Structure 1
């Protein structure tokens, strides 16, 4: 199968013809220089006035399979990814069973045969993990390693963390860290929020409880342990400017989520416990400071921490509601809206969601529109915005914390040359489950 994209505007503003042959990008040439007849293509896509971007790599998703398929599974999660322009996802280990042994890795990879997009599987760390078997299997990275409990209760002690980081360094494997120090949580904040009815008078209590200081301290500790072993540390879902600065100053990499980038504690009156996540939402001042660092290059990656739960699960007290929000389908649309509104450049978005994740984690052939690269491509019209509605999204959970916001959604997503999502014309259609393990 071959496809010719004509007069496509790339993220850097160049207008090019892009020829896809099979699974790869065969040619990138000046617009108008590739003749469909000469190339003998099966399909010609006129991209005049539209942008052709590399498929996004979401380095942090929880597709919930095995163990929690009432929330999400590989089929529904990957459909949501494809509809949002994400062509590679990296699944985290806090499933049931957790991905802490080679056998568990094999089991999850087998389930991922249902994925429409390419994928990686992270190996995790618990008290009974099996590093020997784990590192014999094609894990994407080590992590998300939890320094405090979150969904799945996988928080570990300092000695085990140091041992795991040293082992990952010996295996030349990146360590992705969930950095929060539980010793610095403000437990009194939850007590103050309890109104005596089992519900909460203050949905902001979770942000007051899991303090910004707890994140900053844990980032510093993770970086120090990494330095002792000369390990590559990647700080997941950094929610504070202090955390970003600490990672940047140490030469480590970090990611920011769309919810920490675009939402703050001021949104919790509307979101309630649907806005509970770990780390929690921060002050508007901190949110703005994080956005500044995303724009100026201090942040390496935007990843979603896509962590769906059902509406019934989230509709509980702040003590009982599970942490996490969906986001794999809305990441790129929201960032493209930031481009439209002048807060980010298109090149910066390309780097944050495609080129940089490929570089940080060493994913060959991904993240760029270049000859010889995988034909992971997303076609978007920056003039075509639509309101984000949970009912229109494809995650099994059926809701979004970004309800009512504007986004720029793809009209076409290719995974290694195959159509994963197509919204051209009337309706939409999805492709087959062609996803591959990028570490296999």
Structure 2
């Protein structure tokens, strides 16, 4: 096919030819062949497909929260063409059998994918590293959904094994010893004080206690410890969902890479009266000052990657009292639209967004065929109209969660998403009619 008059992130307007799964030409004045499908871009932005290196698609084990089909549809509708799934499913992706079960389910994906191997006391490193895992992680240094937290000794062993296998370690860095138990003791003693909200916009005053409980110091300390272990072992480490500017600085100063999530970038503790228990996540939302400082580090190039930590739970699950509600929010469909809205507002440059969600993830995680609109690369392409933003509404999204913490925020959503030359999503900007393509997703770490 031929996409004509497309605006690229660097401001050039070019025609882009796709042959098979790859981009074959990016030039001016390309003439359509007789059998080519022509897609007139008419000056709209043609963006490389986003690579979300941190999702939880919940299968196997929790298909009522999300499936590979629903999660990948949500990804495609948000311009994400590659996802990396984390290991805290049931069974966990810590054994050969766990990996194989997930790999079979992932064949339902509309987008390309990687599958991370996890670490628990009973993990099977030899078998896992014989499988086509994407990376080792999310390695949990404190319990989160799935209760896969490990101790320092096992973490050091995992780093050594990953180094020998040539795999990056992705770490969930929180030190549970520095959690503030006093922040939630009153909730444990007084159930009446913790009445759940009736909807994602309901009110739950104690929700802020979760941010007070899982302290910023717990994250900063764990990042410093984890990166020190990795540096001693001469092993690459990537810090997941860094929620504080101090955590970003600690990672970068020590030579590690890090990611920031959209919820830590666009939401803060000031949003908790609106979100209630729907705003519980790990690590938690931080102060508005820290959120603003985090955005500055994204804008100035300090942060390497933005990834969603897409962690869907149902409305019914999130409506429980704070100490019973699960941690996590959906976000794979809203990451790129929210970032493109910051471009429209003049807060980020389009090249910076390209680097954060496509080019840099491709470089850091050895995906040379992805991340840019260039000849020879995979035809993972997203067409958007920067002049047609729309309001984020849960009813217009596709995750099985059925809600979003970003309700009411504006975003620039895709009109077309392509995975290796196959159109997997379209939306008519006039009527809102949507179509989804076939499940063409493949593992980006193919077996040799």
* TM bucket normalised to smaller: over 0.9
What is the deviation of 1:28?
A: 0.6
CA contact (8 A) 1:187 1:209 kept: yes
Which residue of the partner structure matches residue 11 of structure 1? Answer: 9
Which residue of the partner structure matches residue 439 of structure 2? Answer: 433
2:95 to 84, 97, 101: 101
Q: Distance in 2 between matches of 1:278 and 1:227?
A: 25
Are 2:105 and 1:86 equivalent residues in the alignment? no
1:187-198 equivalences under 5 Å are: 187-193=181-187, 195-197=190-192
1:22 to 14, 20, 23: 20
What is the deviation of 1:316?
A: 1.2
CA contact (8 A) 1:4 1:41 kept: no
Q: Give the paired residue count.
A: 434
Q: Distance in 2 between matches of 1:99 and 1:144?
A: 10
Q: Distance in 2 between matches of 1:129 and 1:22?
A: 40
Runs of 4+ in 1 over 2 A off after TM superposition: 39-42, 192-196
Which residue of the partner structure matches residue 216 of structure 1? Answer: 220
CA contact (8 A) 2:107 2:441 kept: yes
Could you tell me the TM-score, scaled by structure 2's length? 0.96
Q: Distance in 2 between matches of 1:278 and 1:203?
A: 13
5+ long unaligned stretches in structure 2:
196-204
What is the deviation of 1:288?
A: 0.4
What is the deviation of 1:42?
A: 2.4
CA contact (8 A) 1:199 1:316 kept: no
Q: Secondary structure at the match of 1:26?
A: strand
1:265-414 equivalences under 5 Å are: 265-414=269-418
Which residue of the partner structure matches residue 167 of structure 2? Answer: 173
Q: Distance in 2 between matches of 1:41 and 1:207?
A: 57
Are 2:118 and 1:124 equivalent residues in the alignment? yes
CA contact (8 A) 1:78 1:115 kept: yes
Q: CA-to-partner distance for each residue in 1:267-292, whole Å, 9 max, x for gaps?
A: 00000000000000000000000000
What is the deviation of 1:198?
A: 6.2
What is the deviation of 1:360?
A: 0.8
Q: Distance in 2 between matches of 1:341 and 1:151?
A: 35
Q: 1:14 to 1:186 in 2, by over 3 A?
A: same
CA contact (8 A) 2:187 2:193 kept: no
Q: Report the aligned-residue RMSD.
A: 1.0
What is the deviation of 1:192?
A: 3.4
2:56 to 38, 59, 62: 62
5+ long unaligned stretches in structure 1:
none
Could you tell me the TM-score, scaled by structure 1's length? 0.97
Q: 1:67 to 1:176 in 2, by over 3 A?
A: same
